Amino acid sequence: MSKEIGITVKKDENFSEWYTQVVLKGQLADYAPVKGLIVLRPYGYSIWESLKSSLDEKLKSLGHENGFLPVLIPQSLLSKESDHFAGFTPEVFWVTHSGDTEVGDRLALRPTSETLAYSMYSKWIKSWRDLPLKINFWNTALRAEIKATKPFLRTSEFLWQEGHTVHSSKEEAEEEVFTILETYRKIVEEELAIPVIKGKKSEKEKFVGAVYTTTIEAIMPDGKALQMGTSHFLGQNFSKPFDVKFLDKQNVETFAWQTSWGVSWRLIGALIMVHGDDKGLVLPPRVAPIQVVIVPIYYSPQDRESVLGKSNVIKEILQKKNLRVHIDSRDEFTPGYKFNNWEMKGVPVRIEIGPKDLAKGKMVVVRRDNQKKMDLSFENTETGILDILGEVQLGLFERAKQFLTEKIIEVTDFEKFKSEIEKGGFLHSPWCGDTKCEEKIKELTGADIRVIPFDGKRSNAPCLICKNLSKTDAIFARGY
C-alpha cells in the first residue's frame, strides 16, 4: 500500500536522490549531527566488514602486518614534505586547544598518515635486515568537505585502510606498488563485482608527494568515473625529509624506497550505484550481510509451526555451507511487505516456503538481480542455492562489464570529444603528455584524465589540443 517506505524515485530519473534514499532506507547509514559526517549502521558496517576481512586476509598472505596510528599529527610534522602539505592543507581539520589552553604546535586530524608513519619508521629502521617493512593501518582519515557531501562518496571522515611500506631497492618498491594494485583489482572485481581499468594517474592527478600513482578506475551508471583505489610509488620523496634510511649490505647509508596505498568505504558507494535498481540495493553474494532470506508463509498456528520448522531445517543446511541465512519470522508483517523490504536491502536470494510448498516438497526461490522465480525441491537445497548465488555474483559482474565496455569510446576528434563527454562515459583519446593540454581539456569540457591504461592501445593520432603526435592514450571522463 504505502510506497513511501520504499524507494520513491527511479534510478535513471533522479540518480542522486535515488542514491540517498537507498543509503538511508536500506539502513546502511544515516546522517550525523555534523555536516559531512555519517553514521554507519550495522547493515552498512557489515558490508565494510566483508570487504575488510577479504582484503585483510590477502594482505596478510602477502606478508603485511596491521598496526595503528594516532589521529593527531603535529603541524611541524605534517609540513615536512612541502608538496604533500600544500596539497592537503585546504582540507585539514586543526585542533588548536586542549581544554582552554592553546596548543603551540597545532594538531591536524590526519588527512592521511604518511608523515606520521614515516617519522616512526625512521626510528625503527637501521639496517637492510629491517626491510622490507610492510605495515597496513585500518583507520579513518579526515578531510573537511564544506559542500556537496554524499554518504560514502564524499564525507569529512571516512573509513579506509592505508598501507605504508619501505624497501631497500627501487625495483622491490615498484613491484609492491603493482602487487597491491592487482590485489585491489581482485577484491573489487571478484567481491564487489565491479569491473575496473588498471593504469597510471597523470602528473596532475597523482597523489601529492608521490613519484607516480597507479589506480583502478570504475564507471558509474551516469557515465562518471569513480576512483576505486590507488597505489603510490613514493620513491625517496618522503624517506629524505623523514630520514628513513638504512645501512645496506655494503655498509653504505641509503635512503629507503617507499610505497603507500589505500581503499576507502567509497567502494560501498560504488557498489550501491553500480548494482542497485529501482527497488533499492542489489548486493553481490560475496559481500551481502545476508545472502539468503527465508520468508515463511503461514495463516494458522499449525501452518506456522510446520513452515517455520522446515525453514529452520533449510537454514541449517545452508549454514553448513557457510552461507549467511536469515529467517524473517516477524508475525506483524505480511509476506508481501517482507518481499519488498528485503529487495530494498538487496539480499541476493529469497526463499519462500508456505503450506502449499510443504505439500509438494519444494520451495520458491527468487533471484534479486533479475527477479526470476523458480521452484526448487527440498532435496536439491544446497546445490541449488549455491549455484544460484554463483550465477548472481557472476551475472552482476558480467552486466557491469558489458556496460563499461560499451561506455569506453575511442575519440580522436575534439569536437566529437565535447559531444560525447556530455553523454558520459570513458573517452579513450590520444594525449601528448603535456599537463597544459590536460588542463585545457578540463577547462573546456569538465573531463580529466582518470587513468592511463597499462594495456592501452596506441592510436598514434595527434593530441586533441596541441596536435602533436600522442605519446600515449588516456581515458578521460568526468569524475566523482
Partner RNA sequence: AGGGACGUAGGUUAGCUUGGUCAGACUGCCAGCCUCGGGCGCUGGAUGUCGUGGGUUCAAGUCCCAUCGUCCCUACCA
Interface with RNA in residues 300-339 (CB under 7 A):
300, 331-337, 339
The continuous run of DSSP H or E covering 155 comes out as none
Partners of residue 296 on adjacent β-strands: 353
- List the one residue from 205, 328, 369, 391 that touches RNA (CB under 7 A): 205
Residue 15 Cβ vs RNA, minimum distance, rounded to whole Å = 7
102 binds RNA (CB under 7 A): no
Q: Which of 208, 210, 212, 216 is nearest to 181 (CA)?
A: 216
Residue 229 Cβ vs RNA, minimum distance, rounded to whole Å = 6
Nearer to RNA, 103 or 364 (CB): 364
Cα–Cα distance measured from residue 327 to residue 314, given in angstroms and rounded to the nearest whole number: 10
C-alpha cell at 249: 649490505
Residue in the structure block whose three cell numbers are 580522436: 412
CB 353 within 8 A of CB 306: no
Residue 245 Cβ vs RNA, minimum distance, rounded to whole Å = 28
20 binds RNA (CB under 7 A): yes
Sites for RNA among residues 40-99 (CB under 7 A) = 91
Partners of residue 138 on adjacent β-strands: 161
Nearer to RNA, 224 or 256 (CB): 224
Sites for RNA among residues 264-303 (CB under 7 A) = 264-266, 279, 297-300
3-state secondary structure (DSSP) of residue 420? helix
Q: Which of 81, 268, 102 is nearest to 187 (CA)?
A: 268
- List the one residue from 27, 31, 106, 412 that touches RNA (CB under 7 A): 31
- List the one residue from 10, 12, 16, 374 that touches RNA (CB under 7 A): 16
Sites for RNA among residues 394-433 (CB under 7 A) = none
| Bond prior to 42 in cis (omega within 30° of 0) | no
Q: Which of 139, 224, 214 is nearest to 448 (CA)?
A: 224
Nearer to RNA, 156 or 168 (CB): 156
Nearer to RNA, 405 or 435 (CB): 435
Cα–Cα distance measured from residue 177 to residue 230, given in angstroms and rounded to the nearest whole number: 9
Nearer to RNA, 121 or 342 (CB): 342
Nearer to RNA, 328 or 391 (CB): 328
Sites for RNA among residues 137-196 (CB under 7 A) = 143, 145-150, 152-156, 158, 160
Number of chain residues interacting with RNA (CB under 7 A):
75
CB 19 within 8 A of CB 9: no
**Cβ within 8 Å of residue 2, ≥6 positions away:** none
Residue 65 Cβ vs RNA, minimum distance, rounded to whole Å = 23
Residue 378 Cβ vs RNA, minimum distance, rounded to whole Å = 13
C-alpha cell at 248: 645496506
Cα–Cα distance measured from residue 86 to residue 260, given in angstroms and rounded to the nearest whole number: 18
Nearer to RNA, 131 or 263 (CB): 263
Cα–Cα distance measured from residue 218 to residue 450, given in angstroms and rounded to the nearest whole number: 9
Nearer to RNA, 125 or 451 (CB): 451
Sites for RNA among residues 342-361 (CB under 7 A) = 343-344, 352-357
